[in-house]
Amino acid sequence: MSNDLIKQYMNHTLEHNKTPESVYLFAKAVGMDEKEFYNHYSSLESLEADIYKIWFEIAFSTCADSAPWNDYSSREKVLAVFFAYIEEAKNYRSFAVYLKNRDLVKLPRWPKYLNELHTVFTDKMKPILSEGIGTNEIQERKYLDEKYVSGLWLNFLFVFAFWLNDSSKSFEKTDESIERSVNLAFDLMGKSALDAALDFGKFLFQNR
């Protein structure tokens, strides 16, 4: 029923070019009792938040259930999830663009309706990053490695915002933005020239 409500909400929004002003008016428009709505959501805002979370859960499950998933590196897993999310969101691009225009914000801020997505994104990405640290794909840095997932979240928001504004054929520029931004993120999280310089500095300090 939740999925049906979401589809009705998106259709109603696009057909009227505005989101419903209240639960009462929305329920009346789709021919249901207001009480029935509250069996699924506490407000229209909570329904909106569920939309983006569901897209991510579908995208992540699609990737995690695929045969090669367990053989992927952390970088490959993140790339796969980012690509899958955009593919899922393409089914509802008009609605996503509408909400973007309604609630235009600039990074690092994001609309409240992405809070649920942020929670599930963090829960799913943390184990992937931990795997990367375990295999030395990602450099373990005291205190800083706890912030990796936050950086990846901003990376994700950047890609999503880029896609919402992308006018290239088949959104090929978005594909490129995913490749470039995720690879950059993993290059920065990996062993870098900065780490080598710090290690050498520590060596010189200890052997003065």
Which position has the higher pLDDT, 75 or 108? 75
Flag the least confident range among 27-31, 42-46, 58-62, 109-113: 109-113
Among the residues of 165-192, which ranges form H helices?
Answer: 172-189
Residue 191's pLDDT band (boundaries 50, 70, 90)?
A: confident
The winner for highest mean pLDDT among 17-31, 105-119, 182-196 is 17-31
Which position has the higher pLDDT, 2 or 57? 57
pLDDT over threshold 70, residue 1: no
Residue 75 CA, distance from chain mean position: 15
Structure tokens at 110: 């994001």
Q: Is omega for the bond preceding 68 within 30 degrees of 0, making it cis?
A: no
Average pLDDT of the residues in 42-47: 94
Look at the pTM and tell me if it is higher than 0.75: yes
pLDDT over threshold 80, residue 196: no
pLDDT value of position 202: 72
pLDDT value of position 143: 76
Q: Which of the following CATH numbers is that of domain 44-206: 3.40.50.1000, 1.10.357.10, 3.50.50.60, 1.20.1440.230?
A: 1.10.357.10
**What whole-number distance in Å separates Cα of residue 23 and Cα of residue 57?**
26
Among the residues of 17-73, which ranges form H helices?
Answer: 23-29, 34-38, 44-64
CB 152 within 8 A of CB 60: no
What is the domain partition of the chain in residue ranges?
Answer: 1-42, 44-206
For the beta carbon of residue 13, count every other beta carbon within 10 angstroms.
19
Q: C-alpha angle with apex 78: 97 to 95, nearest 5 degrees?
A: 15
**What whole-number distance in Å separates Cα of residue 149 and Cα of residue 28?**
42
Q: What is the CA radius of gyration of the chain?
A: 21
**What whole-number distance in Å separates Cα of residue 165 and Cα of residue 186?**
25
Residue 200's pLDDT band (boundaries 50, 70, 90)?
A: low
